[in-house]
Copies of this chain bind each other. A is one copy, B any other.
Amino acid sequence: MLTKADIKFVKSLNEKKERYANKLFVAEGNKLVIEILHSKISVTRIFANENWLNLNEKLVGKNIEITLLKHAELTRLSNLQSTREVIALCKIPEYELDFNRLSGLTIALDTIQDPGNLGTIIRVADWFGLNNILCSKETVDCFNPKVVQSTMGSISRVKLFYGDLSIWLNKIEQPVLAASVEGTSVHEYTFPENAVLVIGNEGIGIGTELKPLIQQNICIPRKGSAESLNAAIAAAILIDRYAGLNF
């Protein structure tokens, strides 16, 4: 049975403060929940319809609280326009950032604010096997429901760390590269095997306090008239160019 307290609690997790106070985030939909159940992220509670529970009985551990719901009840819990058959409450994973273990390309996000952009960047990182993303404190929380949904499951595999990018970039021994409107063309640049790639804010680019820490600006040459590229698109093009040279 769905109680008013359940609805209030699940909806409260839309707020970052409540997510971190409870160390929980929400995931909706069959594909996403199954990917999380297969991952190292713990699921504490599942709200699902009978059909979903019947199909996934074996996957749901005994330590997970299960609430069987009808479609209309799931709709009341859901953040999505079209309600899915399952909603899971998942433990926010706590990862330890070890600079000595960073290898390959590490992505650093400076104040990425659009949840769809962050979700897409996480999905792209996962496609190319990049496991670590450093985020400035002003970057949208990766357990925001819109981000979680738009990662299409990749949130269960890619590790995100939030902190002071200027401190981290100072500390990192690898070359710090950045997506920029100026600099060496991505078509001519030879990416090193190990590096950090900074992607700036959608509107204002990379913060002034980070600029002195960047050793190499890389641009995507424009031939047409669009004023800018979406941050996730720019990130994907640069990561693909890195992948073409280093994989």
Contact = CB atoms under 8 A, between A and B. Distances in A.
Which residue among A187, A221, A224, A243 has the maximum number of chain B CB atoms within 10 Å of its CB? A224
B247 A223 contact: yes
Contacts of A220: 127, 240
Interface in A77-91: none
Given A240-B186, A244-B187, A226 B116 contact: no
A211 interface: no
| A contact face: mostly helix, strand, loop, or mixed | loop
Interface string A76-111: 000000000000000000000000000000000000
A17 B60 CA distance: 46
B226 A123 contact: yes
A240 B243 contact: no
Nearest to A244: B187
B186 A224 contact: no
A71 interface: no
B224 A130 contact: yes
Nearest to A220: B240
A222 B153 contact: no
A236 interface: yes
A192 interface: no
Contacts of A124: 226, 229-230, 233
Given A152-B227, A154-B226, A236-B236, 14 more contacts: A123-B230, A125-B224, A126-B226, A127-B222, A127-B226, A127-B228, A127-B229, A128-B222, A131-B224, A152-B228, A157-B225, A187-B244, A187-B247, A237-B237
Interface of A: 116, 120, 123-131, 152-154, 157, 186-187, 220-230, 232-233, 236-237, 240-241, 243-244, 247
